[in-house]
Structure 1
Amino acid sequence: MTSTQPTTPTLDPTRAGAVVHAGSDAAGQWWRDAVIYQVYPRSFADGNGDGIGDIPGVTSKLDHLATLGVDAVWLSPFYRSPQKDAGYDVADYRDVDPLFGTLADFDEMLAGAHARDMRVVVDLVPNHTSDQHVWFAAALAAAPRSPERARYVFRDGRGPAGDEPPNNWQSIFGGPAWTRLAPRDDDGPLGPQWYLHLFDSSQPDLDWTHPEVRAEFEEVLRFWLDRGVDGFRVDVAHGLIKAEGLPDWDGHVEMVAGSSEGGAPASFEKDVEPGAPEDGSTGAGNAGPMFDQDGVHDVYRAWHQVLAEYDGDRCLVAEAWVEPLSRLARYVRPDEMHQAFNFSFLTTGWDAPALRTVVAASYRANDEVGAPTTWVLSNHDVVRHPSRLGAADPSVRPNGIFATDPQPDEELGLRRARAATLLMLGMPGSAYLYQGEELGLPEHTSLPAEVRQDPAFFRTEGAEAGRDGCRVPLPWSAAAPGYGFGATAETWLPQPESFARYAADAQYGVEGSTFETYRAALATRRAEGLGHGGLAWLDAWASSPDVVAYRNRGVAVIANLGTEPVVLPAGAEVLLASGPVLSDRSAVPQARVPADTTVWLRA
C-alpha cells in the first residue's frame, strides 16, 4: 500500500453525469471510428539496406501493424521528389520516387494491407509543388504573365523598379515568402517577377483560382483511387486559397519550423488563459490572409464528389491548423471532407480542466455538422508526446529540442504519454497514431548540427532545431546493427543508444510493455465499440482539477493527472491500465490509481 492518503469521492465513481456526445449503437463508415497509423516511409523500415526506409520496408512490417490492431495506414509522401523537404516537395504526383521503390512496390504493399483488413490513406500535397515539377519548369521558361505562370502565384514586385516583394508575407521556414526570378529580356519595366512560396523557395505555391490546377488534382485523386487507395490526408488543407489581392499582414506565422503541412505554432505560450477558453482554443490555429479562406471549401466539395464516384467509403482527411474548433468543423461538413485532425487537443497541456474543455468543445463543434472527432497526440511535425509531456512545462511546444536545451524527464514523459494515449483511445471518434509511439519512443534531443536535414534548421540559420528529432528511424531489434532498421547499420539519421530499450522485439509479448499496452487498448476499444460510443463525464470528478473521467458505453475511463492517488470503488474491475495500479490486501481490494496513470474500468 502507498503511504499517501488519497481522498475518496463521495459519489459513485462510475456514475455518469453530463452527456458530452451521444454516440450511436452501431458503427457506420469505417473512418468514423478507425485507428489509423501514420507511416513516415523514410524512417519506418529499410528494405534494401541503403539506410533510408522504403515501400518494401513498409510491406515487410505489415504484420507488426496487424498485430498492433490498427484499422488503416497513412503514408507520408513517397512521390517523385528532389527531397528538399522530405518529399513534401512533389515533382510527379503519379509516381513513386526511386528512393522508396516503384509503383509495383506500392501496389504490393497496398494489396498486403488490404489482405490484412487494413485500409491505406496516402498523403496529397496540393498547396505547392516542387520547383522541379514540369509545370514550374514551363513557368520559368515562359514569359511574364503567360498561361504557364498563371498556374502559380507570380506577381510583379513593388517599388519603381519592382525590386520589392509583392507583399510582406514571411515563409513558414523563415525569411521572405517571395523569391525573384533571374532577369530576362522580356521582363518589362518592373523587371523580373516574383513567385510565392509559403514554405521553402523550392516549393512554389499553386494558384488554386486557376481551373487547370483544380482539374489536374481531381485527376491525381482518380489516379490513386483507381489503384485502390482508401483515402487522402490533405497537406495544408487550409492554405490553398489566399485572400484576394494578397494583402500585407502584420501578424507572424508561428509554426513548427519547416512544416510544409501548415505545422503547429512554435510555442503555445500565447494569450490563452490557463484552463483554455470554452471554445477549446489553445493558440494552435494559423491566422492571416494565406489561411482558412472560404474558397477552400469549394475545392473540397468538388473532391468529395470525386470520391463519391468510388465504392468503399473513401475519405479525405484535413491537416488544417484552424481555430476555433467551430471553424475547423466547417472542413468536415457532410459534403466536404470526412476527418480533420484535432490539433487543439494535441496542443493542450497536461491539465485536467483544459482537457475537459477541449474535449467538450470538440464534440460540440463536430456533432453540429455530423462529423467524427479525430484525435491525435503526435505526428512527424511535432515533438513526440512522451518528450513534450516530460518537459518542465508540458504546455510548451518547442520547434524541436537541442542538446543544449532543458531536457525532458524521459521516465515521467513516458508515464504521462501512456496515460494520455489511453485517455484518447477511450473516446469516441477516430484516432491517429504516429509510428514508434506504440514503442514509447521519445524525441531524439541530441542530434548534432551536421546530420540535421530539416530545411527550417538551415533557413533559420540554426535558430530552430526543426523536426528531425521526431523522424529518427525506428528500432526493430535491440541487438541488431541500426536496431534492425534495415539489413545494414546505415540509418539516414543516427539513432540514440536509448532506442535499444524501446526496440519492438524487446516489447513483444512482454506484459506491461508500451507495445502490449497499445495492442490491448486497441483490442478492447474494438471489442467494446468505444469508437462509435458516447461520452459522459463521471459525476465524481466532473470539476476536478486533477482528474479527467468519463464513461463510454460500458467502460469508465479515469485519468489521474494530479499528484495524489485516486481511489477506485471496492471490487472495481480494471480492464486496462497505462501503468501499475496500487491495491490493498483486503477481502474486497480497493485499488488506487497513481499519479499520471489512466485506467479503464468495467462500468
Structure 2
Amino acid sequence: MATTEPTTPTTALPLGATVHVGSDAAREWWRDAVIYQVYPRSFADGDGDGIGDIPGITSKLDHLKNLGVDAVWLSPFYRSPQKDAGYDVADYRDVDPLFGTLADFDTMLAGAHDRGMRVIVDLVPNHTSDQHAWFQEALAAAPGSPERARYVFRDGRGPAGDEPPNNWQSIFGGPAWTRLAASSTAAGDAYDEPSPQWYLHLFDSSQPDLDWTQPEVRSEFEDVLRFWLDRGVDGFRVDVAHGMIKADGLPDWDGHVAMVEGSSDGDDAQATDPGAPEDGSTGAGNQGPMFDQDGVHEIYRDWHRVLAAYEGDRCLVAEAWVEPLSRLARYVRPDEMHQAFNFSFLTTGWDAAALRRVVAASYRANDEVGAPTTWVLSNHDVVRHATRLGLPDAGVRPNGVFATDPQPDEELGLRRARAASLLMLGLPGSAYLYQGEELGLPEHTTLPNEVRQDPGHFRTDGAEAGRDGCRVPLPWQADAPGYGFGPTGATWLPQPDSYGRYAADVQYGDPTSTFELYRAALDTRRAEGLGHGGLTWLADHADAADVVALRNRDVVVLANLGSTPVELPAGHEVLLASGPVDTTLPADTTVWLRA
C-alpha cells in the first residue's frame, strides 16, 4: 500500500513525531467522509405543523450539497409514540406519519444520491417502544413464554417479588426496572400473575430492552437491515451499540450509571490534568455490567456479513460510549463495524495538551485494527460546542443548561467553536457535523422548563435540563416567522432571539460567516486530500502549553488555545483561518498554512 507520510516539506519546518501515516491507496468512501447529522424534527418543516419532516429535508439537500458534505445521517424517523423523540421505535420498517411516508423517504434518498451524497439511517437495537407489537404481545403472554423471552423480563426480589431484580439505574434517572400490573391477560386465556414480573429499561420506562441472547431477536434485526439496504441506504448509525448484551446473571452494580451523553458532573479532570492517562481517557465511557460486554461483537460480525453482501461499501457506525480507546477500537476490527464515534475527543476540554493526547491515542488504537479515526464535536445528545466552549469553565459537560445556570459568553464560544471545528477538519479520518454547527448555532440556554420534552428532564424530577436546548429548530431565513423553519412559522420548541443573526440566508456568500468557513474548509480538505493524509506533530510546538500544531500532507494546522498570540512561521501561505490573522495567530484561533 503506497504511503504519503512523512515526506519532505516544501519549506523547512521542524517536524516531530509522526503519529499517523496517510495513504493514497484505493479506499472505502467512509474512511475520510464528512458526514452531516440531520435531526429530522428540527431540520426543516415541509408541511407547516412546526415539526421537521422528510419533505423538509429534501427541500434543503442543496444546502448540504453546497456545504460539501459526503453523506447525511438521519436520526430516527420510524413509527413511534415519540416518548423519546423517535428513539422509542414501534415499527422499524415504516416512516412515522409525523415525518412523512416511505415514498417521501425514497424521494429524499434519490435526491441525495443524485447530488452525490450518501445516506445513513439510525438503527435503535437495544430497545423498542412499549407500543411495539412484540412488547404488546409480551404483556399479553404468560411468564416464561416465547413472547416475553424477546425482552428482559425477570421475577422480582423479596418475599413478595416486589423489589426490582437488581439495583440498576436508568440512564435517564430512576430505576431501570418497571413492574407489570397485578394481572395480565394471555391470548385466549385469562390468568393472574401471582407475582407480576419486572422488565428492564436502561432508558425510559417506555423503552423496554430486548434480549439479544435470543435468536429471534437477532434474525429480526438482520431482516430490518436488509429492508433498508434493499431501499438503497448506504449504512447505519447504531444507537447504544455497546449496550445490547448484559452480563450473565444481571449482577448488582454499585457504580454510578451516568448519562455520558451530557454528564452533569463537570468532571473533566482526566482531560486537563497533565498526569492524565496516555490512552486519551476523559471519563466518557459507560461502565457496568450492562455495557461493553464481549458478546456484542458476535452481533456485529453477523451484521458485517449482511452488509458485505451488498454493493457500494455500506457501513456500520457505532455509538459506543466506551473507554479506553483501545477498548473502543474492538468495535471497528476488520470483520465488525466500520466506524465508531470518538467521544473521548468530543469530551476533551479546551486544553492543548489534552487534545494532543487524545488525538495521538485515537490513532494508536484505530491504526492497530486498520480503522479510520472518526472525529465529532457536537450531536443531538450534548450541549452544542459553540456554547460548551463559551461556558465559564470550558471543560464542563452539562446535560443541558438552565436559564438560571451560569450563561455562556456567546462571542467567546463561537470563536472557540470555529477554531475547534477547523482543527477537527484538519485531522485525517472521517468527521461528523451536527446540523446547525455550520451556522455557528449556540445552544438555547434559556428554554422555559414548561416547554421541555426530554425524558431525562422528567425522570430526574427536573434536576437535569436535558437535551432540548441542542434540538431547537434551525433558522433558515432571518426575516421570516420561525426563521423560515417551515411555511407557518410554527416550531415545536421555541427559538431564541439570537437565531436571526445565525440564519442561513444571511451567511451565504459572506466570507466572514461560519457557513462559508465550513464550506471553504470542506473544499480545501477534499482538494488537499487531508482526510486520507497523515499526521506529524511540529517539533517547535510539540510540548507547547497552549498550541496544537501538526502537519497533514502539505498543510500545517496551528491552533492557539491560549490567551497569548503565537508567531506564525515566515513565508507560509494562509489557506484558511477561523478568525483574522496577520503575522501572529491570535487566541482561540486555528489557521491552515501551506507548508
The answer to whether the 8 Å contact 1:507/1:514 transfers is: yes
AA matched with 1:38: Q
Q: Matched residue of 2:211: which SS?
A: coil
Secondary structure of 1:219's aligned partner: helix
2:592 to 568, 582, 600: 600
Work out the CA distance in 1 between the residues paired with 2:216 and 2:512. Answer: 54
The change in CA–CA distance for 1:72 and 1:522 in structure 2 (over 3 A counts) is same
Q: Distance in 1 between matches of 2:66 and 2:94?
A: 30
User: How many angstroms does 1:27 deviate by?
Assistant: 5.1
- Partner in structure 2 of residue 3 of structure 1: none
8 Å CA contact 2:46, 2:56 repeated in 1? yes
The one-letter code matched in structure 2 to 1:17 is: G
Match of 2:130 in 1: 131
Q: Which residue in the other structure is 2:8 paired with? A: none
2:27 match = 28
- Contact kept, 8 Å, 1:14 with 1:551, in 2: the verdict is no
The C-alpha deviation readout for 1:130-151, integer Å capped at 9, x for no partner, is 0000000000000111110000
Q: Name stretches of at least 5 consecutive residues in structure 1 with no aligned partner.
A: 1-11, 257-262, 583-590
TM-superposed CA distance for 1:219, in Å, is 0.2
1:587 is aligned to none
By how many angstroms is 1:264 displaced?
4.4
State the alpha-carbon separation in 2 of the partners of residues 47 and 311 from structure 1.
Answer: 32
Instruction: Choose which of 202, 206, 211 in structure 1 pairs with 2:215.
Output: 211
CA contact (8 A) 2:268 2:349 kept: no
CA contact (8 A) 1:187 1:193 kept: no
Determine if the alignment matches structure 1 residue 236 to structure 2 residue 237: no
CA contact (8 A) 2:262 2:398 kept: no
Identify the residue that residue 7 of structure 2 maps to in structure 1: none
CA–CA distance in structure 1, aligned partners of residues 92 and 64 of structure 2: 26
Structure 2: give runs of 5+ residues left out of the alignment.
Answer: 1-10, 185-190
Kept after mapping to 2: 8 A contact 1:400/1:465: yes
Q: Corresponding residue for 2:578?
A: 578
Q: Do the aligned residues in 2 keep the contact of 1:177 with 1:199 (CA within 8 Å)?
A: yes
Task: Give the distance between the partners of 2:410 and 2:434, measured in 1 at CA.
Answer: 18
* Deviations 1:430-459, CA, capped at 9 Å, x for gaps: 000000000000000010011110011111
- Matched residue, 2:330: 330
**Equivalent residue letter for 2:578:** S
Matched residues in 2 for 1:150 and 1:228: separation? Answer: 32
| Whole-angstrom CA distance in 1 between matches of 2:289 and 2:76 | 27
Deviations 1:30-49 (A, max 9, x none): 00000000000000000000
**How far apart are the structure 2 equivalents of 1:286 and 1:456?**
16
State the one-letter code of the partner of 1:223. F
- Offset of residue 268 of structure 1: 4.5
Task: Judge conservation of contact 2:72–2:119 (CA < 8 Å) in 1.
Answer: yes
The Cα of 1:392 is off from its aligned counterpart by 1.2
Corresponding residue number in structure 1 for 2:187: none
Letter in structure 2 aligned against 1:282:
T
SS in 2 for 1:121: strand
Task: State the Cα distance separating 1:187 from its structure 2 match.
Answer: 5.0
Deviations 1:162-193 (A, max 9, x none): 0000000001111100000011274555x000
One-letter code of the match for 2:419?
Answer: A
Q: Higher mean Cα deviation, 456-465 or 470-479?
A: 456-465
- Return the alpha-carbon distance in structure 2 between the equivalents of residues 511 and 116 of structure 1: 24
Q: 1:195 aligns with which of 179, 192, 199?
A: 199
Name the structure 1 match of 2:115: 116
Q: Would you say the 8 A contact 2:268–2:395 is kept in 1?
A: no
Who is 1:81 aligned against?
Answer: 80
Establish whether residue 267 from structure 1 lines up as the match of residue 271 from structure 2.
no
Match of 2:529 in 1: 529
For residue 139 of structure 2, what is the amino acid of its counterpart?
L
Identity of aligned residues (%): 82
- Distance of 2:265 and 2:359 partners within structure 1: 21
Deviation of 1:159 after TM superposition, in Å, equals: 0.6
Structure 2 residue 382 is matched with structure 1 residue 395:
no
SS of the residue corresponding to residue 344 of structure 2 reads helix
SS at match of 2:146: coil
Q: What is the identity, as a one-letter code, of the residue corresponding to 2:225?
A: L
- CA distance in structure 2 between the partners assigned to 1:110 and 1:503 by the alignment: 26
TM-score, normalisation: structure 2: 0.96
**Structure 1 position 536, deviation (Å):** 0.4
Structure 1 contact 13–569 (Cα < 8 Å) conserved: no
Is 2:91 the counterpart of 1:92? yes
1:13–1:156 CA distance, 2 compared to 1 (3 A): farther
Cα distance per residue 1:504-527 (max 9 Å; x no partner): 001000011000000000000000
Pairing 1:251–2:255 present = yes
